[in-house]
């Protein structure tokens, strides 16, 4: 896609000369004969570079530089004047001009300045979007897992990363869908281009189109300046549409056109912009069901669903939990400057037995709580939330364990009660209130059972 240039000069011969020369160099060129007209064209077309005369009737070149940079301080502006005045040069640079030329000038000098200015703009844009992402270096390092399900996902990421095909990532909330999307991007040829995320459920419907595609000044109430959308910001890289199932039907039509044509139009604009971007979408909804309900377009679904990737919930890959616990423990201890080097066997058993409806995000929150509250060098079950502890129940006795010569029911029940009470107190770190809830009895009932079983003195001695 050719760079767009705007030439503003009140001298017809100079405008015509620059338009012909720059068009022959492969640029798309627009011209204006006044500063006012130049600013209007800039607002409508948002060119990549502006070339303006300094001395013009009405709005001067310096005024134009100020007006344009109030909208977009990153656009390079080259100031030109027939008056070889050092004061003009200084004022133009102070107002933010990229460079300065005096008439008459060498054509090759102008070409070099334009090329350098456009390259500087591109580098600034890339730095703005890539600095933080490149430092994080997403590869597979942040995706933890050794289960067969995760090994299959790693293999699939390596296979699909080099392609341009769209990907639809399905999975419950908290399973790491964005992490998978980043792994695909940073293992692809687009790794050094932007990775831009749009959370479709977090942006109000009346603002979503503008956030996606941008808008022109005055296109709606509050649009005080031109604004590039996030789709445009992802040019050359990857656009991640998170929670795609929440996109309103009114936006789905425009999103479908963008996916088909790889071009879009800013809100309030008339020009189509073409870009090169890979689209990865994710959702925790069953899109087939949403289509049946009329909430999601069938044609959009098939456009997105080129490569489908399902992330299993944490409860389906229990063998990954110890790895994740270790990873989050090290990460959070570093953040909090604490030294917790191990996890007790009981704590690990409790952590592995829980179903995690909030998936990996919930596990990370649990470990953060435990690290924050833990006072020793070992993560214990005492600081694990009660809802996790309460799922760790002793399994019922198997019918095959019933002895052939019968049992002493009273003694057996007493021994079982002793084991269950002891286990509950062990799991809760001696917290009788939580132990009572775990056993489904009141604190008063628990104290009675401890006295009946002769465990009151024993338990207190154990906790001292």
Nearest to 81 by CA among 67, 70, 92: 92
Q: Do 46 and 227 contact (CB within 8 A), yes or no?
A: no
Distances (CA, A) of 275 to 13, 30, 78, 461: 34, 21, 26, 72
CATH no., domain 149-312? 3.40.50.300
DSSP 419-457: HHHHHHHHHTTT-HHHHHHHHTS-HHHHHHHHHHTT-HH
DSSP 305-336: TTEEEEPPPGGG-GGGHHHHHHHHHHHHHHHH
Side-chain-side CA neighbours of 405 within 13 Å: the count stands at 0
Domain boundaries, the chain: 4-125, 149-312, 315-389, 406-463
Q: Quick one: pLDDT at residue 401? A: 56
Q: Quick one: pLDDT at residue 307? A: 95
Could you list the pLDDT tens digit for every one of the 464 residues in the chain? 678 999 999 999 999 999 999 999 999 999 999 999 999 999 888 899 999 998 889 999 999 999 998 888 889 999 987 765 667 777 888 888 888 888 888 899 899 999 999 988 887 776 665 544 443 433 455 688 888 888 899 999 999 999 999 999 999 999 999 999 999 999 999 999 999 999 999 998 888 999 999 998 888 888 888 888 899 999 999 999 999 999 999 999 999 999 999 899 899 888 888 899 999 999 999 999 999 999 999 999 999 999 999 999 999 998 899 999 998 999 999 999 999 988 988 889 889 989 999 999 999 999 999 999 998 889 988 889 888 877 665 444 444 455 666 666 766 777 788 888 888 888 887 888 888 877 877 888 888 888 877 777 544 444 43
Residues paired with 214 in a beta bridge: 228
**pLDDT digits over 334-365, tens only?**
999 999 988 988 889 889 989 999 999 999 99
CB atoms within 10 A of CB 410: 8
Q: Quick one: pLDDT at residue 132? A: 46
Q: Quick one: pLDDT at residue 460? A: 47
Side-chain-side CA neighbours of 62 within 13 Å: the count stands at 11
Class of domain 4-125: alpha beta
Alpha-carbon span 111 to 21, nearest angstrom: 10
How many residues can be counted in the chain? 464
Q: Do 369 and 363 contact (CB within 8 A), yes or no?
A: no
Alpha-carbon span 310 to 167, nearest angstrom: 11
Q: Do 67 and 23 contact (CB within 8 A), yes or no?
A: no
Using the CB atoms, write b or e for 90-122: b if 16+ within 10 Å: ebbeebbbbbbbeeeeeeeebeebbeebbeebe
Alpha-carbon span 247 to 245, nearest angstrom: 6
Distances (CA, A) of 115 to 7, 26, 121, 197: 15, 12, 10, 30
Q: Do 161 and 184 contact (CB within 8 A), yes or no?
A: yes
**Eight-class DSSP state of 395:** P
Q: Do 80 and 52 contact (CB within 8 A), yes or no?
A: yes
Superfamily of domain 406-463: Homeodomain-like (1.10.10.60)
Q: Quick one: pLDDT at residue 16? A: 93
Structure tokens at 332: 């959070």
Q: What is the mean pLDDT of the chain?
A: 85
Nearest to 54 by CA among 12, 21, 20, 100: 100
Side-chain-side CA neighbours of 208 within 13 Å: the count stands at 21
Q: Do 328 and 367 contact (CB within 8 A), yes or no?
A: yes
Alpha-carbon span 283 to 310, nearest angstrom: 10
Q: Does the fold of domain 406-463 match that of domain 149-312?
A: no
Class of domain 315-389: mainly alpha
């Amino acid at each position: 896609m050719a760079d767009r240039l705007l030439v503003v000069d009140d001298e017809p011969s100079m405008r015509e000369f620059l338009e012909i020369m720059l068009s022959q160099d492969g640029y798309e060129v627009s011209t204006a004969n006044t500063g006012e007209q130049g600013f209007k064209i800039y607002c409508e077309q948002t060119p990549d570079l502006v070339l303006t005369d300094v001395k013009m009737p009405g709005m001067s070149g310096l005024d134009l530089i100020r007006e344009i940079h109030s909208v977009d301080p990153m656009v390079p502006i080259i100031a030109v004047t027939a008056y070889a005045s050092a004061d003009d040069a200084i004022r133009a640079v102070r107002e933010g001009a990229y460079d300065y030329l005096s008439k008459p000038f060498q054509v090759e000098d102008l070409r070099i300045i334009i090329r350098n200015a456009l390259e500087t703009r591109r580098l600034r844009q890339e730095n703005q979007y890539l600095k933080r992402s490149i430092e994080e270096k997403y590869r597979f390092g942040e995706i933890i897992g050794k289960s067969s399900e995760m090994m299959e996902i790693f293999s699939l990421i390596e296979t699909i990363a080099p392609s341009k095909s769209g990907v639809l990532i399905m999975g419950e909330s908290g399973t790491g869908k964005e992490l998978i999307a980043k792994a695909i991007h940073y293992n692809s040829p687009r790794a050094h281009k932007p990775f831009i995320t749009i959370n479709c459920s977090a942006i109000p419907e009346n603002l979503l189109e503008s956030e996606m595609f941008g808008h022109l000044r005055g296109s709606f109430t509050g649009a005080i300046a031109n604004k590039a959308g996030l789709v445009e910001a992802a040019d050359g890289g990857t656009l991640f549409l998170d929670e795609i199932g929440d996109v309103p039907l009114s936006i789905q039509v425009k999103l479908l056109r963008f996916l088909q044509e790889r071009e879009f139009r800013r809100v309030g604009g008339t020009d189509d912009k073409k870009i090169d971007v890979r689209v990865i979408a994710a959702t925790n909804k069953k899109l087939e069901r949403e289509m049946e309900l009329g909430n999601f377009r069938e044609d959009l679904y098939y456009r997105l669903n080129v490569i489908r990737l399902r992330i299993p919930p944490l409860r389906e890959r229990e063998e990954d939990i110890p790895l994740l616990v270790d990873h989050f423990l090290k990460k959070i201890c570093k953040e909090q400057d604490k030294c917790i080097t191990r996890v007790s066997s009981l704590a690990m058993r409790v952590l592995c037995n829980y179903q995690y409806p909030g998936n990996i995000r919930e596990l990370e929150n649990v470990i953060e709580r435990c690290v924050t509250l833990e006072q020793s060098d070992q993560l214990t079950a005492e600081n694990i939330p009660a809802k996790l502890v309460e799922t760790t129940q002793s399994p019922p006795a198997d019918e095959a364990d019933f002895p052939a010569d019968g049992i002493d029911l009273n003694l057996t029940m007493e021994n079982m009660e002793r084991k269950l009470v002891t286990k509950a107190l062990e799991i809760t770190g001696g917290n009788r209130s939580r132990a009572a809830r775990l056993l489904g009895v009141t604190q008063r009932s628990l104290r009675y059972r401890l006295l009946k079983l002769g465990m009151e003195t024993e338990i207190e001695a154990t906790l001292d």
